[in-house]
Structure 1
Amino acid sequence: MNASATLLITCCTVFLAQLGMSIYLPALPEIAGHLHAGPAQVAWGLSIYLVGMALPMLLWGSLAQRIGRKPVLLAALGLYGAANLALPLGSTLESFLLLRLIQGVGASGISVMARVLIRDSFRGDLLAKALSWISISFVVALGIGQYLGSIIQVTLGWQTIFYLLGITCLLMAMIVFRVNFATLEEAQTNASAWLIYRRILIHRAFLLPALAGGLGYGVIIAFNTAAPLILQGPFNWSTVDYGLLGWPISAAYFLGALVVNRFVLRTGQHRLMTLGVVLVMAGCGVMLLGSLTASSIALMLWLPYCVAVFGQSLNYPISLSRANDGAPIAGAYAMALSGFIHQLMAAMIGAIASLVASPSAWPLALLCSLLAVGAMLCVTFTPTRVSP
């Protein structure tokens, strides 16, 4: 299969996996009522999902290196699809959270394999450019999926959200079953996978850009965790109102990903990555200022967030590319490890956001600002050139 076809399939699978994060968020209050639980308790479903994504990523990467990309991707799609079909059948908070965990495990394999397949086909600035399309898939799922979820929930009920996602995922698995992916020839090593991961982890040229991408990603996770409770609470937004917010968020991320796609070969990765993190800091700073001085104006929360999202859309694909290029060992390991770091950070940040969530927006804005400062420090100390 040529690189363009591989890119198309990986974008579709990433879209499906990321929908699990966002498509159900507008229905969160209704799901809470069905499960006889509080909205804050059901909001833990996002953190649990992220834990499920994080924990097996290193295993998925090791399996991809040993048994091949296609079997691992099929297994991940099957697990993810089955969990989605089972989610509406649960009637307790515990069953909901358990299935969200299983759903996250499947999404983990999908995410790892998408990055590995892209890495098999591209290198250097071209890898950053290809990963920008993955970012576009991510944000379409994050924003448009949120809007679609609100429409499906209002018209067909929240259970249909998961049924449609599960059926679509299994259909995608049937497509993947019929194609063959080209795998990059690599030098084999007899070292333990865990020793390889350790060697990559302690390499500064890998770790710092990976952390920069994860901290910026955490801004999005924190907002998704706490914003529904704020905007649908004190601001009295309806389900559809909150769903519509997905459009400007998606537009911001989409534009940023297009900037990377169009200009990374001309401008260079370091300059675009630095610009991205500066915009994340600026957006989060205005969010914090607005939450303290104009707390009754919703625009002061979501519009600066869109600026931060635009910045993260510059930062994220480049951080993945630079981490992969900076890794001392080639293969699926670096992509799996960077994904593990990002999802583990996202799960931790999502948990913190759940704990600090309140009707006031300033705790969320403060958390996002601290994450942005951390990302800026990582970019500042990342080597501008990767040693061969």
Structure 2
Amino acid sequence: MTSRTTDVTDAHRQTHNSFSLSYFRQPLAVYAVAFACVIAFMGLGLVDPILPAISKQLHATPSQVELLFSSYNLVTGLAMIITGAVSSRIGFKSTLLTGLLIIVIFSALGGSAHSIAQIVWFRAGWGLGNALFIATALAVIVGVANGGTAGAIILYEAALGLGISVGPLLGGELGSISWRGPFYGVATLMALAFILVSVLLKKVPRSARRSSVTEPLRALRHKGLLTMGITAFLYNFGFFTLLAYTPFVLNMDAHHLGYVFFGWGVMLAITSVFVAPSLRVRFGTHTTLYGVLGLIALDLFVMGIGLASIPLLVTCVIVAGAFLGINNTVITTAVMDVSPFERPIASAAYSFVRFMGGAIAPWLSGKLAVWFNPHVPFYVGAFGVFLAIVTLVIGRRHLANV
């Protein structure tokens, strides 16, 4: 057992070292897709700083405004089911470009909206494009990048972290001019990404066979994959409670909210790339996930207790970014290992489940604040993350491959 553990640890170290050496020696196509990933993931935190402004100017309640996250995540999750079937028929590059084009159209429409209902529907369309793009982007980067699968996942997570960090900053800067600015900004940047991917990404080989729409759903019969999906569902519940609800309790303008969540995103980006792989090698996937999920739950609980202290809330938001970055990388890598299915199928099944947590939490957090008090959403978010730990413990015997 000791010899096997040492071999596995050495293999992880070699993979991480290989990634480090090849990080700056990637084909231009990888950077084109990574750039598009950055812009796509901006959509996650871009609207964060402008939520209070939209609420005020369009006379909407917090729970109505938080539907911008719910509709986006709900459609993204549902659309994940069809991504494998689409990409296996029209090819990875065509699927990427279709997703990018849809995002360009619906983000521009969001900027031209005149009611909260219109924005919610346009964000739903944005979520469709997001699903087609992000589900395919990981497979493309894994296939084209240097450094092996682990290195490609870290590169993908780096793009995710950079996009999430820059999104609130851009949203805050443009949102301080008008809440419409961030939507038009993403449409412009995504149009640029569309051009870069069109030119630089050469023809990517199609899947060896055509996937069925039902395959991701059937894949969830695998108890290991289902365990990881439920864990991510519960973790995302806490994640999006923090992301969607916190702007309403910080009582800041779009400019300052942008800086707060920029700090959060920077921490997420740093730990996802430079800290998570080392922790995974040293402590293993299970122990790392137990520890970091426990810290996320504790962070949310402290936010609920210290709601009256703005400095404490800001500190907790930024610190949470560090924990979230570690969790994102470790859990994504684990999903790639846990089941015997092809990566696109496993990713689609897992993402379908996890995005549902991100769809429920934003709307529910606004309602809980009204039904009870402003502290309760954070407590419920913390409890959701705690249940993620319980799920991992119960399903541990199904995660032998991780």
TM-score range, shorter chain: 0.7 to 0.9
Partner of 2:255: 240
Partner of 1:140: 162
Contact 2:88 2:206 in 1 (8 A): no
3-state secondary structure, aligned to 2:341: coil
How many residues matched?
374
Partner of 1:256: 271
Shift of 1:295: 3.6
Name the CA distance, whole Å, in 2 between partners of 1:40 and 1:265: 37
Partner of 1:197: 216
1:159 aligns with 2:180: yes
Name the CA distance, whole Å, in 2 between partners of 1:161 and 1:109: 22
Shift of 1:372: 1.6
Partner of 2:236: 217
Deviations 1:157-214 (A, max 9, x none): 222221121021112111211222544875x47x8441x2233111122222233334
Name the CA distance, whole Å, in 1 between partners of 2:307 and 2:221: 43
Identity in percent = 17
Which blocks of at least 5 consecutive residues in structure 2 are unaligned? 1-24
Match of 2:400 among 365, 382, 385: 385
TM-score by length of 2: 0.83
Name the CA distance, whole Å, in 2 between partners of 1:9 and 1:110: 13
Match of 2:64 among 41, 60, 69: 41
Shift of 1:378: 3.2
**Residue range with higher mean Cα deviation, 204-213 or 85-94:** 204-213
Partner of 1:98: 121
Shift of 1:76: 0.7
Deviations 1:26-47 (A, max 9, x none): 2223323443433442222111
Contact 1:279 1:307 in 2 (8 A): no
Partner of 1:326: 338
Contact 1:281 1:308 in 2 (8 A): no
Shift of 1:73: 0.8
3-state secondary structure, aligned to 1:245: helix
Note closer, same or farther for the CA distance 1:297–1:335 as it changes in structure 2 (3 Å cut): same
Note closer, same or farther for the CA distance 1:287–1:385 as it changes in structure 2 (3 Å cut): closer
Partner of 2:191: 170
Note closer, same or farther for the CA distance 1:76–1:229 as it changes in structure 2 (3 Å cut): same
Amino acid at match of 2:254: T
TM-score by length of 1: 0.85
Deviations 1:64-111 (A, max 9, x none): 122210111111111110111112222122222211111111111111
Deviations 1:304-324 (A, max 9, x none): 344443223222223222222
Name the CA distance, whole Å, in 2 between partners of 1:280 and 1:384: 17
Name the CA distance, whole Å, in 1 between partners of 2:62 and 2:48: 11
Note closer, same or farther for the CA distance 1:275–1:327 as it changes in structure 2 (3 Å cut): closer
Deviations 1:114-152 (A, max 9, x none): 1222343579x9534432332232233333321221111
1:298 aligns with 2:321: no
Name the CA distance, whole Å, in 1 between partners of 2:290 and 2:203: 34
Name the CA distance, whole Å, in 1 between partners of 2:168 and 2:263: 12
